[in-house]
């Protein structure tokens, strides 16, 4: 038979009707970097167009964005003070709880707020937990601190708690703490397949969270592994995660696709800082047209199976109405 596939492509109207993958603002989560103080808004050099903001300016910042259809936000804290146990992470007056209270008061249920639950931004050594005498992260002793931070964020108004530390049993520990304290309605988005990736560089600059020694390869996933990542996705679901995540996105589309086939839980992916900054640099150099490359990247993530995408491109998509043509 002589196939004529061009018949399916002959007009924009037909192409739109037959498109298998959709992308809209409802699929996007926008990261916000929250710092202490008032009146603070500082652009992050390694991430053009992304800012560190104090809580009240963050509330003002998202006012138009949420009116235009961007309803999901994940918050990362940048404290003034760091110590060996990351105590600012579970300080009720810290940057993230302060922002959560303001945002919930202003926008209520019209937005969904996610609080990243990790210690790396808050510890003086930049690792994701309490250190033993040999400078390795003590998994089980660190879980109590994560549960403590999660409870503070839940009390402040977080709809979702997003443990990103990749320590064993973190989801079970957090779910138990939430349930025992009456927060059975709060959801957990677990960073289930979080790889030890070079794509995190700009984020670590923004969050001031680079390890002061060593690396995080003893708890994040080796980039060469597939089966381990999928096992961790399944384990997090069994421990009580309401949604799971693959991070980063572009270099791990195969993991997104396979995770989608293995679980019926909502599947998120994180279009991380390095992926974002590479696009910005390439666009500035005249190598790409920004709208087309951003939409191509995000559509690939959706096509692979992601229900939701955490992306720094979200504001550009809303501001320029790239999804309303």
CA 40 to mean position of chain CA atoms: 22
CA 306 to mean position of chain CA atoms: 13
Closest CA to 44 of 247, 276, 207, 210: 207
Does 82 qualify as catalytic in the annotation?
Answer: no
Residue of 52, 82, 247, 280 marked catalytic: 247
Map tokens 């998202």 to a residue.
Answer: 62
Q: Which helix (H) or strand (E) holds 99?
A: helix 95-107
Q: What is the full DSSP assignment across 117-171?
A: E-STTTBSS--SS-B-TTS-B-HHHHHHHHHHHHHHHHHHT-SEEEE-S--TTHH
Q: How far apart are CA 100 and CA 190, in angstroms?
A: 19
Residue of 52, 82, 194, 280 marked catalytic: 194
Angle made by CA atoms 199, 32, 236, in degrees to the nearest 5: 65
Does 194 qualify as catalytic in the annotation?
Answer: yes
Is the CB of residue 312 less than 8 Å from the CB of residue 301?
A: no
Is the CB of residue 240 less than 8 Å from the CB of residue 172?
A: yes
Q: How far apart are CA 148 and CA 84, in angstroms?
A: 16
Token output for 115: 């609080």
Beta bridge partners of 76: 33
Map tokens 């964020």 to a residue.
Answer: 153
Q: How far apart are CA 128 and CA 71, in angstroms?
A: 29
Map tokens 């503070």 to a residue.
Answer: 152
- Which residues are identified as catalytic? 194, 247
């Amino acid at each position: 038979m002589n196939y004529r596939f061009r018949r399916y492509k002959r007009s924009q109207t037909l192409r739109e009707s037959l498109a298998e993958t959709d992308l809209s603002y409802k699929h996007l989560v926008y990261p916000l970097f929250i710092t202490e103080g008032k009146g603070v808004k500082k652009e992050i050099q390694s991430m053009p167009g992304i800012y560190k903001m104090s809580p009240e300016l963050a509330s003002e910042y998202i006012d138009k964005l949420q009116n235009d259809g961007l309803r999901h936000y994940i918050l990362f804290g940048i404290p003034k003070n760091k110590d060996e146990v990351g105590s600012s992470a579970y300080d009720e007056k810290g940057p993230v709880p302060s922002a959560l209270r303001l945002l919930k008061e202003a926008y209520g249920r019209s937005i969904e707020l996610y609080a990243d639950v990790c210690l790396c931004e808050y510890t003086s050594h930049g690792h994701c937990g309490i250190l033993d005498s040999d400078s390795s992260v003590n998994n089980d002793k660190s879980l109590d601190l994560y549960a403590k931070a999660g409870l503070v964020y839940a009390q402040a108004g977080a709809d979702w708690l997003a443990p990103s530390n990749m320590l064993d049993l973190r989801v079970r520990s957090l779910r138990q703490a939430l349930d025992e304290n009456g927060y059975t309605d709060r959801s957990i988005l677990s960073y289930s397949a979080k790889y030890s990736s070079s794509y995190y560089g700009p984020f670590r600059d923004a969050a001031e969270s680079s390890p002061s020694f060593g690396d995080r390869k003893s708890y994040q996933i080796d980039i060469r592994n597939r089966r381990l990542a999928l096992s961790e996705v399944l384990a997090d679901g069994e421990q009580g995660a309401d949604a799971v995540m693959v991070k980063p996105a572009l270099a791990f589309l195969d993991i997104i696709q396979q995770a989608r086939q293995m679980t019926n839980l909502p599947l998120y992916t994180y279009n991380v800082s390095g992926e974002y900054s590479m696009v910005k640099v390439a666009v500035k150099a005249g190598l790409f047209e920004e709208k087309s490359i951003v939409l191509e990247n995000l559509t690939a993530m959706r096509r692979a199976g992601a229900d939701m995408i955490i992306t720094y491109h979200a504001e550009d998509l809303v501001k320029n109405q790239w999804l309303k043509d």
